[in-house]
Every structure is written in C-alpha cells, then in structure tokens.
Amino acid sequence: MLAYARDRRRFLLFGRPRQVDHETHSRRAERLLESLLTLGPTFIKLGQLLSTRPDILPPAYIDTLASLQDAVPPAPWPEAKQVLEDELGPVDERFAEFDTEPISGASLGQVYRARLDPETERTRADPPDGASREVAVKIRRPNIESLVNADLRVIKWSLPILLYFVGEARAFSLENLADEFSKTIREEMDYEREAEMLTEIRANFADDDRFRIPAVIESHSDSRVLTMEYVGGTKINDLEELERKGIDRTQIAENLERSYLQMIIDDGVFHADPHPGNLAVTDEGQIVFYDFGMSGRVDSFIQDKIVDFYVAVANQDIDGILDALVEIGTLSPDADRGVMSEVMEIAIQDARGEDVEQYRVNQIVGQIEDSIYEFPFRLPKNLALVLRVATVVEGVCVTLDEDFDFIATATDFLTEEGYREETIRNYIDETGQQLRRSGESLTRLAPKTERALDRLDRDDLYLRIGVEDSDKVFEKLAKRMIYGMLLTMSLFSTGVLYALEAPAGSIVAAAFSVIVLIQLYRSFRSPKSIGARPQFTRQNLRQRRGEE
C-alpha cells in the first residue's frame, strides 16, 4: 500500500501527483506478488481478482499478477477427512473407494477421486445405471471460514487508507472491488450455490453434445462438500496430445467461444473461471468444464449492451462502441470522446488484419486496459467477471489456433441468433421515430418563427445567455485582473510615496506589492490554472507498447 501511495503522490502525504516508469511498476508488482503468496489463501484470491482489474492497477501489475495461481499446499488428509465426515458421515460407509491423494488443490478447497456405491447414489441428473460411478469430491479447506473472515476485516479496514491516495474514478473501482471480492469469495466457499449454478448451466447445454458438464451427486453433497461425476479428458492447452488424438483444434476454439457467448448473452449465467486448468477435451472432441465456484449472472440490460458493443466493433462503429461503454457504466460520460475515439480507432487498426473482419479482441481489450489507468474508465461490479471471461477465453482460443478470429466467430453467432438483424431493426425504428418527431417539429416551426419575428419587429425580444464554467475559467481570469490592477496601483503608490519622502508608507506599499505579485504568480503556477490537457496520441501509444 505504501508503494502504491508513493507512486501516486510525490511526498506520500502531500505534493503533486507523479508517474513512475514501467520498470518501477514491475519491481513493485513482483514484491506485491510475493506478499500475496505469503499472506495465504484469501490474498491469493484477491491477487487473482486484481489481475482482472486494469481500472485499478497499471499494466505492469496486471501482467505480473496474471501468473498468480492457487499455489497453496494441500491440507493434510486427516483434516480434510474430518470436514468430509462432519458433512456426510463415515467415508467407508458413503464411498466404495476413496483416494486420499488430492488430484487438484486450490486456496479454498481440494479435489479427490472416489467411487460410489450405486445403491447410495442419487444425482440431480443422469439416473444411476447400476454400476459404481467414479466421482470427484471437492472438500472445503478446514477452518477456512475464520481465516477468510479475518482477512476480509483487514481488507475492509485498509481500504479507507488506500482511498486517500487515489482519485475519484479509481476510488469508485476500489470500493466496488472490495464489495465484489467479499461477495465472490463467500460464494466460492458455498458449495450448495456452486451445485445450483453447475446444474443450471448443465441444463442449458443438455441438448448440445459438443459440451460435457459433470452432474452433481446430490446425496453426497452439502455446503462444505461437493461430489460430481468424474469426467476425464485432455487438458485443453495440451496441443501435442490433441494433435495425436486427431482433434480439430480450430473447431474446439470456435465451440469454446460460442459456449461462452451463449452463457453470457443468451442464458445470463456463466462459468467465470475458464483458465486451461478448468477446461479439458474428451476423445470424442467434447469440451469439459470443471470448477464452477467462480460463476456469475448477467442481467438483461448488460446482455443488451454487450450485444451493442460487439455489433459496433464488427461494424467498426466508433461512436457505437463509446455509446455502449458509457451506457454500460464502463466509460465516464465526462470522458473526452475525441480522445477516446482516437484510442478506439488505433486499437481497431492495430488489431485488424488484411481482412476487415480480422480482429484480436485481446489486443483491443489490452489497448483499452492500458488506457483505463490514465483515462476515466471504470469497471462496474457486474461487468468485471465478464471482462475476465472474455480475455481468458480469447487467450485459450488463440493458444488452440494462433489465427483464430474471435470477432468473426462472435459476429457469426450474433447473426445466426438474430441479434444483428434485431439491432438494425431497432435502429430503423428509432430513425423512423426521429423523422416523425422532426416532421412534427417542422409543423410547429412556422408559427413560432412568425411570433418571434413579430416580437423582434416590436422591439420586444430578449435574449438570455447562460455560460457553463465548470472549470471556473472566468473566476480565474477575474482574480488575475484584480491582482493585476492591485499590483499596478500598489506600484504606483510606492513610487508616489517614495517621491513624497514617506519611507514608511512606501515600504508598506512595496510589501503589499510583493504579496499581490506572489498571489498573481501562484494563480498561473497552480495545477488548476488554464492550460492544455495532455492528449493520448498515436505516438504515445506506440511508445508505451514499445516499452512494454
């Protein structure tokens, strides 16, 4: 926190704002990474969440924290067994076999393989077939609740200190982050919620054989234990094994993207942690999803705006992109649209290939993320997980196929589902309504014009003008004029008093002149004085990309 504050203000508690170079940010990001790993599970999760929040941290921090994984040693089996038996009863009675070596470990829980006795099995889907079923058993870490609660209190108490050193826009994002993190980590510890989300998403893909989502074993699940059918597969980024099995990697990438577009845009409920460790491919080419602890919902308004954003990107409509960002709450309405249009144009030009449809969403988002730290971008709580999903999924798709075109596939999906046609239809309807209103206004224009001309002819027309001055430019000019006149008068008085041989009076007038001169000088030296704002130019962007 001290390093972050030192980056923001020259003398920590006071002084003018300052910027530090990329190397300094990188060094401090590495130290932050070490601290998070030392502090344990809660702060590792916090670091993972921070790695998706470019509205809070500079790009160097984002790059460093993106490598943060759940590097926590597994809890000893006796402790995990105690949690399991507290929830379900004796292991030997509830499971036919149980492997006590975890197959996966994380900061909040760990996963074991086991076999169920078919007589005791009951699932929310797929009734038992009479044979023992291999399952994955996810057990929450012992005593993790008290540790997380203590860590959340530390974060809550630290937040007001950190907010002192940041601007209004970043304070908005930080407060949202604290609320979001507290909500997200508690949801991840609630395995009953995870089971509900998993079951709902599984139902949404029930008729699509391109995907495989494990079924929940309801009879062997509770708030601290989640038992699912075990579905094996090749890790999605194991390219050599996928090639050996003759699996079409390009088709897998397209199916993966389409699945998340469906979850976010159509279904409104989505798996929010699509890193390669949570994705696999079966020998039949089905995509398997694991770990639904981090999952989310999207309301209909956000869904509509995401569609508007994708359609605008596909149509290279810069104004449409900015309008969508403003309406969704990501871009401040006060942002300089001229500057932001330039940023968007450069991002799309850099991301576009030979064909106009060749975009790289990760490059576009990357350019935007870089500018978030300097421009009035912010991430609402309900959009942070969506941004995480978009960037991680695009990275997995490009790993599968380096020529994969994310936007072209998204455009095809929107067209097939009728979203682009609906957008065009809405645009035509809005245009028609505007033309109708314009026609009605024209019918009222003639009599109003005649009345105005009559008043002008009678010298009975008054004009009121209101000038908005949010930056207090006129106030500053008025102060400077007054200081200038006072300085002129005091200098004249000093000369007159000195000529009249009144040394005491001339000294007082000279001292007053010095005071007024200092005030006049400070009005020009103040950071809030009239002056041009720095612009985010193409040259700036190329220079920053070169440094990174």
Q: Reduced to 3 states, what is the DSSP secondary structure of residue 166?
A: coil
| Number of Cβ within a 10 Å radius of residue 418 | 10
Whole-number pLDDT of residue 213: 93
> Which 8-state DSSP code applies to residue 11?
T
> Which tokens is 344 given?
């968007």
Residue 460's pLDDT band, with cuts at 50, 70 and 90, is: low
Residue 464's pLDDT band, with cuts at 50, 70 and 90, is: low
Name the more confident of 195 and 347.
Answer: 195
> Which 8-state DSSP code applies to residue 76?
P
Helices (H), 142-226: 144-163, 168-189, 191-204
According to DSSP, the β-strands at 225-229 and 234-235 are: unpaired
Residue 543's pLDDT band, with cuts at 50, 70 and 90, is: very low
Whole-number pLDDT of residue 256: 94
Residue 428's pLDDT band, with cuts at 50, 70 and 90, is: low
Q: Taking residues 299-322, report their average pLDDT.
A: 83
Half-sphere exposure of 418 (CA within 13 A, CB side): 4
Using alpha carbons, select from 193, 184, 187, 80 the residue that is nearest to residue 142: 80
Residue 397's pLDDT band, with cuts at 50, 70 and 90, is: confident
Q: Taking residues 473-484, report their average pLDDT.
A: 80
Whole-number pLDDT of residue 360: 45
Name the more confident of 243 and 415.
Answer: 243
Whole-number pLDDT of residue 260: 92
According to DSSP, the β-strands at 287-289 and 211-212 are: parallel
The predicted model scores a pTM of 0.66
H or E segment to which residue 342 belongs? helix 337-351
As a whole number of angstroms, the distance between CA 133 and CA 407 comes to 41
